[in-house]
Amino acid sequence: MVPSAFIFTPDAVDLPALDEDPRFFVPAYYGPYGGRAIDLADPDVDWAEIAELADASYRRVAPKRLVAELDARGRA
């Protein structure tokens, strides 16, 4: 068990590459639905990569209205 992990929902196209990368693992309960996770306790965590994964995962599941609002904030 990993004490602190970031669980996200990647695009299906990215799954093969993530499954080949030893930093990522299939989390219990979320894995069957396409979820992947990364251990945040690793001292070499790339926080910019975590931010990108969070953004992409959110955009995949958020309502279109909220994604548009997020995009509008980015342009301000």
> pLDDT value at position 2?
64
> pLDDT value at position 9?
94
- Strand order across the 36-39 sheet: 5-8, 36-39, 24-25
Question: Is the separation of the CB atoms in 61 and 28 below 8 Å?
Answer: no
Mean pLDDT for the stretch of residues 59-76: 88
> pLDDT value at position 1?
60
Can you give the residue ranges of every domain in the chain? 5-75
How confident is residue 38, by pLDDT bands cut at 50, 70 and 90?
very high
> pLDDT value at position 73?
87
Tokens 């299906």 correspond to: 12
Is the pLDDT confidence value at 37 over 80? yes
Separation CA 39–CA 26 (nearest Å): 11
